Structure 1
Amino acid sequence: MALDEFALIGRYFRTAQLERATDASATALGIGDDAALLQLAAGQQLVVSTDSLLAGVHFPERYPPAELGYRALAVAVSDLAAMTATPLAFTLALSLPTVDEPWLQAFSLGLAAAARDFAINLIGGDTTRGPLNIGVTVLGQVPAGQALTRSGARGGDLLCVGGPLGDGAAGLAVVQGESLPAGLAIAGQDYLQQRFWRPQPQLLLGQQLRGVASAGLDISDGLLADAEHIAESSGVALHINAAQLPGSEALSAWAPRQKLDWMLRGGDDYVLLFTLPAREKARIAQWRAAGHAVSVIGSVHAGSGVLLDVGKGYAPIAGERGYQHFRSAND
């Protein structure tokens, strides 16, 4: 007998691994009622973000369900890291074309692994029949007035990134079975697949940016596209030096032109991009010593937009900046 909605939720999502992935003291009321209740700690503000994932748009048409479950939550939690928040809870809105129990089992196990890794509990959601669509809303908390936004960058600040760039796009190439460079070892392929399916939100680094960084976000659509958001919101110009962009050993297997294009425009890296007042520069060595691969990749100036130096001086960006929703084939 096919499962109805409530039996599906009970079997695969109302589990200890998801409802109590971490301390649940902030959950006053979880799954089972019309809505959930959260109790914030004193002096905290609520941080809320929603992501939708569509097959063929945000992940390949062919995929491992467990990896998809992990990725769905990871990319949403990355927005909490960008706001310097501590995760509290999440909801899941899942549209399924059919009730496929092996798929649901694997998906929920991947989702639970991410919930454990990021210390966040499932508190509700919805399921319905339709084309595969995964909607995740994450909730976190941050000390009042300390959330990091896109609008605080000032001239003289350093432009920093929290880790290697280009791995997400290279990982997608591996996942999709594209022709790979001969120099890419099996270990490199495994690393890149992990970077695509299991990105690690920089929660701890984000929390250390509270009251220190001036602006920030996570890189999802590509370095250039996301840097443009900071420049526009802050009313400044960002100068990026291509020679300073950090890349992984695995990415170096590709030709320099492809490597640079993925680092600039590839997206799906889910590392933090932030601006740092020059007086705070000494913190970079401290963060690196603590295991956060922070690099300075440029600087903030008066003006507007993003300028890139690829060895010929700083110039406005030509062509695509990164992924954009709702772009038509004729754009």
Structure 2
Amino acid sequence: PDAVAVVFEGQSLSYAEFDARVNRLARYLVSVGVGPESLVALAMRRSVDLVVGMYAVVAAGGAYVPLDPDHPVERNGHILGTAAPVCVLSTAGDGVVLPGEFDVVLIDELDVSGFSDAPVLDVDRVAPLRGSNAAYVIFTSGSTGKPKGVAVSHEAIVNQMAWMQGQYVLTGSDVYLQKTATTFDVSLWGFFLPLAVGARLVVATHDGHRDPGYLASVIADQGVTVTDFVPTMLSVFAGAVSAELLGSLRDVFVIGEALPAQAVRDFGVVSGARVHNLYGPTEAAVSITFADVTGAVDGGVVSIGVPQWNSQVFVLDSRLRPVPVGVAGELYLSGVQ
């Protein structure tokens, strides 16, 4: 209970403090009607409050919808109009401007002291929570340019997290640096995986993910062992930092774009951490294939590897027939995710 759970810019919460804040806020959300298949928007920049709000929505049985306060008002308005959330969680410091009439709850000013800090159970929720219920809804650009919501179930994301832990085995001594925007589903690894195993979650400052020097200093100061990158940023990071700051790193997850082999080689010059290439669209609960690509990599493009637990991938032709090895086709995904 006394172990540090979340760290952000000098602030820290122990597991006991974090659980108490989450449970009280979750019970407040239940009291205003949040439950399975209802949505709650998160209009917050990275902070301790963001993590508390995210967990509270899920504990109440609802699904969270992340908004970037710095995105255009029109985009956020379209998302809110489509999602029709029960309420929008934010903080006074975020100064979020939203179009239309929405119930905005400033959780840093909300008095939840009258609510119990005991874990929220099905008996406390407006309805029982099932694996098939939505856990989060992330809006992607879509082929028309208008954001389209992708709802992901609890059973899908739980499979992803269970596979991650089974494959990479984080422990209470690990420290995960979370620096990915909440509007990108990769953020779920950092927000949920470390706290599920008693590790420490270090949340990067706003825009910190764009600053290699800042990231390297946080890795050194906090003893970060695990983090994630998009390939483009991995290349930039590798070319801008020195090896002595990265000694604690053990595993780096890379996802979001095709991973160039040169990026892996460049990173290997400054860090001995293992590099894992993962692939998956938003619809497939973060990632669905994986490959350990640590060390020297031949050629220009890195493989996306093989399927994860309870998942299958098929390369098919236009008639949905499997193609021979070496023949181009389209990738089809199936399974719990």
| TM superposition score normalised by structure 1 | 0.29
Q: Between the two structures, name the one with larger relative contact order (CA 8 Å, sep ≥ 6).
A: 1
| TM superposition score normalised by structure 2 | 0.28
